[in-house]
Amino acid sequence: MERPDSHPTIPAPRVGVLLVNLGTPDAPEPRAVKRYLAQFLSDRRVVEIPALLWQPILRGIILTTRPRKSAHAYRQVWTEAGSPLAAITAAQARALQERLGEAAIVRHAMRYGSPALAIEFAALKAAGCDRILVAPLYPQYSGATTGSALDALADALKAMRWAPAVRTLPPYHDDPAHIDALHADLVAQLAALGFAPEVLLLSFHGMPERTLELGDPYHCHCRKTARLLGERFAVSHPALRVETSFQSRFGRAKWLEPATDKVLAAEAANGTKALVVAAPGFSADCLETLEELAIRGREQFATAGGRDFAALACLNTGEPGMAMLEALVRRELGGWI
């Protein structure tokens, strides 16, 4: 039977890969930051307070005061390519595309802001991808990050009449490829420093302690990443003390401890003169690493008496990180490519 002229053109079947990260404002300006924060902090995965209680606080207090302060912080790290997180994630997608070649089409998306997950997922489907791997770039699982990205994926699927087959990248906090990449990358950065650090502080993004009590595995995943990485450094750098902390506290609830800012101050007050901080929970440098750690962290350490300080870069598009990402993606695409 010949295809009728009215029949839509259907692209040849392809495999797609969608890298997903958290998101960023479109500009380092209060209005753009307000839009971003409104979307981010309205996600019930992020703030689990009932909406009837939370929304008046969010819209009456937080969104009237925080955007200006956050915009100032974003301006300190903004680049010609825009937000560091957006630029680096886009570069990771381009680098992965080069590595995979014709085996798959690679795009990237943000959970909040642009490019939106639903739009990029639909673009892969429109390009003929009948099988798509969605890869949240969060090594450690949290309902507020990976879980929320999967919520957005479910919403995108619900809007499609003809949905593709879907796989998702599991957490890789303890994957040997991830630990290998982190260790190799950090060792290279340590070798390039002009001082010998006494302490390597592994700073992870914080979460309310209540999330741990409710069953979120994030804290355990962070601790396991830190333990495995610490074991590697015990062999390669036996004189280097490795510590773990949690940053970015927000609100009055009790958060995971110890807090990064307090650890930095305590280390300096107790006599540590040379310290480096790394963020193995972030796949790409962003506001939390470039401003909170590299700028404010340095100030906190120096004010308390510290001397030498460095905030090490995330894996970003470096060879160790991209080799790891390619290996993880190819593993999850087994049978598809």
Q: In what order do the strands lie in the sheet with 199-205?
A: 241-247, 199-205, 274-278, 308-311
Q: Is 99 exposed, middle or buried (0-12, 13-18, 19+ CB in 10 A)?
A: middle
- The token pair at 100 is 């995979």
Closest of 45, 279, 15 to residue 124, by C-alpha: 15
Q: Given this model, what pLDDT does residue 151 score? A: 98
Instruction: Band the pLDDT of 250: cuts 50, 70, 90.
Output: confident
Q: Is residue 125 part of a domain?
A: no
Q: What is the pLDDT of residues 116-173, one digit of tens each?
A: 999 999 999 999 999 999 999 999 999 999 999 999 999 999 999 999 999 999 999 9
Closest of 310, 296, 292, 241 to residue 271, by C-alpha: 241
pLDDT above 90 coverage of the chain, percent: 95
Q: In what order do the strands lie in the sheet with 14-23?
A: 105-112, 14-23, 129-136, 165-168
Q: Is residue 273 part of a domain?
A: yes
Q: Given this model, what pLDDT does residue 7 score? A: 61
Q: What is the CA radius of gyration of the chain?
A: 21
Q: Is residue 133 part of a domain?
A: no
Q: Is residue 255 part of a domain?
A: yes
Q: Is residue 215 part of a domain?
A: yes
Rounded to whole angstroms, the Cα distance separating 148 from 168 reads 13
List helix spans (H) across 147-240: 148-158, 176-191, 209-213, 218-236
Rounded to whole angstroms, the Cα distance separating 55 from 42 reads 8
Lowest mean pLDDT among 10-19, 133-142, 185-194, 203-212: 10-19
Q: Given this model, what pLDDT does residue 28 score? A: 98
Rounded to whole angstroms, the Cα distance separating 242 from 275 reads 10
Q: Is residue 158 part of a domain?
A: no
Q: Is residue 76 part of a domain?
A: no
268 SS3 class: helix
- The token pair at 130 is 């009948």
Instruction: Band the pLDDT of 253: cuts 50, 70, 90.
Output: confident
Q: Is residue 265 part of a domain?
A: yes
Q: What is the pLDDT of residues 40-91, one digit of tens each?
A: 999 999 999 999 999 999 999 999 999 999 999 999 999 999 999 999 999 9
Q: Indicate the average pLDDT of the chain.
A: 96
Taking residues 309-319, report their average pLDDT: 98
Look up the domain containing 243 and give its range: 176-311
Biggest CA–CA distance in the chain, Å, is: 82
Rounded to whole angstroms, the Cα distance separating 173 from 218 reads 10
Upper half-sphere CA count for residue 175 (Cβ side, 13 Å): 20
Rounded to the nearest 10°, the torsion over CA 189, 194, 196, 199 is -60
User: What's the CATH number where 283 sits?
Assistant: 3.40.50.1400
* Structural domain count, the chain: 1
Rounded to whole angstroms, the Cα distance separating 185 from 314 reads 9
In the predicted model, is pLDDT for residue 213 greater than 60?
Answer: yes
In the predicted model, is pLDDT for residue 260 greater than 70?
Answer: yes
Rounded to whole angstroms, the Cα distance separating 40 from 287 reads 15
Residue 191: count of CB within 10 angstroms of its CB: 7
Closest of 94, 91, 148, 71 to residue 117, by C-alpha: 148
Instruction: Band the pLDDT of 11: cuts 50, 70, 90.
Output: low
Q: What is the pTM of this model?
A: 0.95
The conformation of residue 44, written as its DSSP 8-state character, comes to: T
